Amino acid sequence: GVQAVRPPPLTSTSDPPPLFDGSTRLYISYSCPYAQRVWITRNYKGLQDKIKLIPIDLQDRPAWYKEKVYPENKVPSLEHNGKVLGESLDLIKYVDANFEGAHLVPGDPAKQEFGEQLISHVDTFNKDLYASLKGDPIQEASPALDYLENALGKFDDGPFLVGQFSLVDIAYIPFVERFQIFLAEVFKYDITEGRPKLATWIEEVNKIDAYTQTRLDPQEIVDRYKKRYLVLYIYTYFFFFFFYLSEYYIIYIMNLVTVDLEEL
C-alpha cells in the first residue's frame, strides 16, 4: 500500500496535545520496537481514525510527557478513557479487547494456550538476540531463531505463529525485522538460511500493510545498531587484547627477574 504520511515527532519545544479531552492517543517513537507492536495492532484493526498517533522524539523528549501524560517517561503509552496505560504486551491485548476491528486472538483454545506460551517467551527471545551482539552473533543468535522456526511448525493451517496472523506475530516481528537487517548487513548472516518456515513467515508478514506502514528505514536500523553494539564490541575486544597483553608482559618481566637472580 501507499506509505502513510508520518507526523513529525514532538520535541522538547513542542506543545502538548489537548490532554484528556476524550480523544484516544497512542504515544510512540518511530524507532522503538515496543511501540511498533501497538502501532501495528492499531493499524491492523483499522483504528487510524479512532486512535491518534503521537510520535515522541526520545532524544529530545518534551518535559510535559513525563509530567502530564506518563510518569514512566517511556513509550508506548495509550491515553484512553481518562487514563494512561503502558507496557507494549499489555497494550496490544488491551487494544484488541477494547476496540472494534479484526480480532487478533485465535478462537481455538489450543492456539490461545500456545500463543500465550510464545508471548511469555518473547522477552527471553529478545534478551538472547541482544546478548548475541556482544559475542558471536551467528552462533549465539541461532538458538533463539531455531526456537521461532520450531514454533512456526506447531500449526499447519497458516504461515503465522498460531496459523493466522495474531498478537503473537506482532509481539515478535519488530525485533526479527531489526536483527534480520543488521545481521545481514554487518555480519553477512541470513537468519532465514536453513529456516524455511521463518523465511515464509517474514515474507507473509511483509505482505501486511498494517505492519509495513510501521517499518523503520533499514539504513537507520544499521546505523543505530552499529553505534550501539559495534562500539561495545570494539571496547570488549580491546579490553581482552590488553588484558592478555598485560598478562604476557607480567610473565615476561617475571622471567627476566628470574634470569637475573639465577645469574647472581
pLDDT band at 254 (very low <50, low <70, confident <90, very high): very low
pLDDT band at 263 (very low <50, low <70, confident <90, very high): very low
Q: Is the entire prediction scored with pTM above 0.75?
A: yes
pLDDT over 90 at 230, yes or no: no
pLDDT over 60 at 262, yes or no: no
pLDDT band at 134 (very low <50, low <70, confident <90, very high): confident
pLDDT band at 246 (very low <50, low <70, confident <90, very high): low
Q: Which CATH architecture has domain 105-264?
A: Up-down Bundle (1.20)
**Mean pLDDT of the region 161-180:** 98
- Residue 216, Cα to own-chain centre: how many angstroms? 11
**Mean pLDDT of the region 132-137:** 90
pLDDT over 80 at 87, yes or no: yes
Write down the domain spans for the chain.
Answer: 25-98, 105-264
**Mean pLDDT of the region 66-92:** 98
Taking only the tens place, the pLDDT of each residue in 181-200 is 999 999 999 999 999 999 99
pLDDT over 90 at 168, yes or no: yes
Taking only the tens place, the pLDDT of each residue in 32-60 is 999 999 999 999 999 999 999 999 999 99
pLDDT over 80 at 241, yes or no: no
Q: What is the pLDDT of residue 238?
A: 63
Q: What is the pLDDT of residue 251?
A: 54
* Fold that domain 25-98 belongs to in CATH: Glutaredoxin (3.40.30)
pLDDT band at 258 (very low <50, low <70, confident <90, very high): very low
Mean pLDDT of the chain: 90
pLDDT over 90 at 225, yes or no: no
